Amino acid sequence: MVHPCDALIVSCIDFRFQKYIRNWLDKNVSDKTFDYVGYAGGVKDIAIILSQLKISVDLHAIKQVILMNHEACGAYGVESTPENHARDLKKAKEIILATYPQLNVQTYYLHLDGEFEEVL
Ligand SMILES: [Zn+2]
């Protein structure tokens, strides 16, 4: 039995960003329902994210995925550069679309000051 839901949100667990994320979600997807995955590193471990995404698709028939990585991510350590986050976000989007071409996937890089930078 499917309980329809609009979207899946994926972000890091990092507490420093939760308020920014809540505010952004209130502003940008307040009219939508969404599942939420909080996992250290955001999309860094793509296998974990895909396992959660599959459940979200199978149980809730989501149509949209919003992926958020962030600046100074401890799960990336010294690898936490804007280039690496952009690379992983783009790769995650590609992998997701290869399996679920019907999904609308958006990717964001969050700055420490709360800015949401869309990664295209
Ligand atoms: Zn992080």
**In one letter, which amino acid is 28?**
N
The per-residue pLDDT for 50 is: 98
> Cα(3) to centroid of ligand 1, in Å?
30
Asked whether the predicted pLDDT for residue 56 surpasses 80, the reply is: yes
The topology under which CATH files domain 7-118 is Beta-carbonic Anhydrase; Chain A (3.40.1050)
Look at the block and give the residue holding tokens 């420093």.
16
> Cα(1) to centroid of ligand 1, in Å?
34
The per-residue pLDDT for 18 is: 97
> Cα(84) to centroid of ligand 1, in Å?
13
Rounded to two decimals, the pTM is 0.96
The per-residue pLDDT for 1 is: 76
> Cα(37) to centroid of ligand 1, in Å?
13
> Cα(22) to centroid of ligand 1, in Å?
16
| pLDDT 10s digits, 62-108 | 999 999 999 999 999 999 999 999 999 999 999 999 999 999 999 99
| pLDDT 10s digits, 2-43 | 899 999 999 999 999 999 999 999 999 999 999 999 999 999
> Cα(54) to centroid of ligand 1, in Å?
22
> Cα(81) to centroid of ligand 1, in Å?
12
DSSP string, 17-68: GHHHHHHHHHHHSTTS-EEEEE-TTTTSSHHHHHHHHHHHHHHH---EEEEE
> Cα(38) to centroid of ligand 1, in Å?
10
